[in-house]
Amino acid sequence: MHDAAHQQHASVRHAAYIRPAALAGSWYPANPTDLANTVDHLLAAVEPVDGAPTALIVPHAGYAYSGKIAAAGWRQVEQGCYDTVVILAPAHRVRPHKPLAVWESGAFATPLGEVPVDVDVCRALVEASPYIAVDHASHLPEHAIEIQLPFLQRVCPSCRLVPIVMGEGAEEDRVVQQVAEALARVLTGRRALIVASSDLSHYPSYRSALAIDQATLGAIEAGDPVLLRTTLDEAMHSGASNLLTCACGEAPILVVMCAAALLGAETITVLDYANSGDAPRGDHRQVVGYGAVMFWHYEPPALSQAQQQCLLRLAYDAITAYLRTGSVPEAQIDDPTLTRRAGAFVTLWQGEELRGCIGHIKADLPLYRVVQQMAVSAATSDTRFDPLSVDELNGLTVEISVLSPLRRITRIEQVEVGKHGLLVAKQGRRGLLLPEVAAERGWDRYEFAEAVCWKAGLPAGCWREGGALYTFTALVFKGQPVV
């Protein structure tokens, strides 16, 4: 295999360093129009997150199996502005001479055209790390970079590529840390994105894959490389039938986790998950898992008094309109701060008495629209209270809590009472309490965690026994809107 690859490498060197497409017509459509339509359709089905990625993890199977999940990651690229994309992929076929192999010149071809290589960044990385070398042979039969390129061509057609294949020894701690540091040094000041191309569990049953992959994604979401290594090792020794690996791109994932943190991406969001058993006619006996993860920097909204008053007014008017007419008129809002996607809770008060509180956690709708919808839900759908009546509108106080993204934690000591809200999730149940609740009740972080378990209908201590614990912050303001 090595001899054949190196002979092909010599012919490619003679052909102006253009790495030809190898998967067109099998893993994805060969016809340019069909390919563009397929990718665009997959991207159009995804809602963007409120932020631009510093790094991504995306799967690399054929589009019929993992295209939906890959699109969940690549759709987020449209939120940012990039010149260069570094794609790190595992070597499935030809082992690189060094732990990492870069293709440093020319371009990679797909039916949609050629993606030029960022020569300057490639050369800078080779100089910055003793573990990276120029090695075309490892790239020629490799699918894990090529499968990403049609997505890249649709979301960032002017981007240049830094293609890197990672082989034996690349997952070692010293290699991961040094390469991550080299990436951070070289990419600082550039408009660059780092992508790890990796599938998750290979060949367990459908049910086993769900458990193994959720544990893997949970460790990634916690931003803890040590936990990820431990999780992968425990899964491999769990006795799951037919399990070959928990993540074929373990080394790329570890590098992305470390490099993203060095580049200031403190927020990690699991965007989507599926496995091959979810595909039409997918076999549930042996599956491959696919996950999309985004690493990014969250900028909390800075709402002026006028913007806060606007949201309070929208909430109050939405409740009033719904109680009187059964519908809420469409608001015309063009303020970019109020149209950015965010999660929010709306709490209603009559004097000192709570009258309703309902929220939407996921940042998938414009803030103003979330406020309108949650205001109506708090007034009419909080099962702890009777629906609000028109007579109660007079003197009603509206409180709005604009939520940050959830951040998974692994130690209760990471909770700051008064600053953080908490969410616990286990066995399909979730409970959430806003930051001010613990401060108002005088709870410490342990009492706060127990209360969130109770809110979820879970046993005390569930956060210690397999429950996923998340923190978040909230921008809170309230008032009686000025009429």
Burial letters 88-102, b for 16+ CB under 10 A, else e = bbbbeebbbebbbbb
Beta strand pairing call for 107-110 and 18-19: parallel
Q: Which CATH class is domain 305-403?
A: alpha beta
Which residue ranges does the chain devote to CATH 3.30.1490.150? 407-475
Q: How far apart are CA 383 and CA 71, in angstroms?
A: 37
Q: How far apart are CA 375 and CA 386, in angstroms?
A: 15
The phi-psi region of residue 411 (left if phi > 0; otherwise alpha if psi is between -120 and 50; otherwise beta) is beta
Residue 152 · residue 60 · CB < 8 Å: no
**Residues in contact with 313: Cβ distance below 8 Å, sequence separation at least 6, in sequence order:** 481, 482
What is the per-residue pLDDT across 236-251, written as a single tens digit (0 to 9) for each? 998 899 999 999 999 9
Tokens representing 311? 């949201």
Cα first-last separation, the chain: 77
Q: Counting runs of H as helices and runs of E as strands, what totals does the chain give?
A: 14, 19
Q: How far apart are CA 89 and CA 5, in angstroms?
A: 18
The phi, psi pair for 242, rounded to 5°, reads 70, 10
The length of the chain in residues reads 483
**Residues in contact with 153: Cβ distance below 8 Å, sequence separation at least 6, in sequence order:** 110, 112, 113, 115
What is the homologous superfamily of the domain 2-296 according to CATH? LigB-like (3.40.830.10)
- pLDDT per residue, tens digit, the chain (483 aa), is 344 444 444 444 444 589 999 999 999 999 999 999 999 999 999 989 889 999 999 999 999 999 999 999 999 999 999 999 999 999 998 988 899 999 999 999 999 999 999 999 999 999 999 999 999 999 999 999 999 999 999 999 999 999 999 999 999 999 999 999 999 999 999 999 999 999 999 999 999 999 999 999 999 999 999 999 999 999 999 889 999 999 999 999 999 999 999 999 999 999 999 999 999 989 999 999 999 999 999 988 899 999 999 999 999 999 999 999 999 988 999 999 999 999 999 999 999 999 999 999 999 899 999 999 999 999 999 999 999 999 999 989 999 999 999 999 999 999 999 999 999 999 899 999 999 999 999 999 999 999 999 999 999 999 999 899 999 999 999 998 655
Which residue ranges does the chain devote to CATH 3.30.700.20? 305-403
Q: Which residue, among 459, 462, 417, 408, has the nearest Cα to 435 in the 3D structure? A: 417
Tokens representing 439? 């401060």
Burial-class residue 166 by CB neighbours within 10 Å (0-12, 13-18, 19+): buried
- Interhelix angle 119-128/173-187, rounded to 10 degrees, is 140
Burial-class residue 479 by CB neighbours within 10 Å (0-12, 13-18, 19+): middle
Burial letters 200-223, b for 16+ CB under 10 A, else e = bbbbbbbebbbebbbbbbbbbbbb
Overall fold of domain 407-475: Dna Ligase; domain 1 (3.30.1490)
Tokens representing 210? 């769900």
Which residue ranges does the chain devote to CATH 3.40.830.10? 2-296
DSSP-derived secondary structure letter, 340 = S
What three-state secondary structure class fits 53? strand
Q: How far apart are CA 244 and CA 204, in angstroms?
A: 8
What is the per-residue pLDDT across 168-216, written as a single tens digit (0 to 9) for each? 999 999 999 999 999 999 999 999 999 999 999 999 999 999 999 999 9
pLDDT of residue 2: 44
Beta strand pairing call for 113-116 and 107-110: antiparallel
Instruction: Identify the H or E element spanning 162.
Output: strand 160-166
Residue 255 · residue 183 · CB < 8 Å: yes
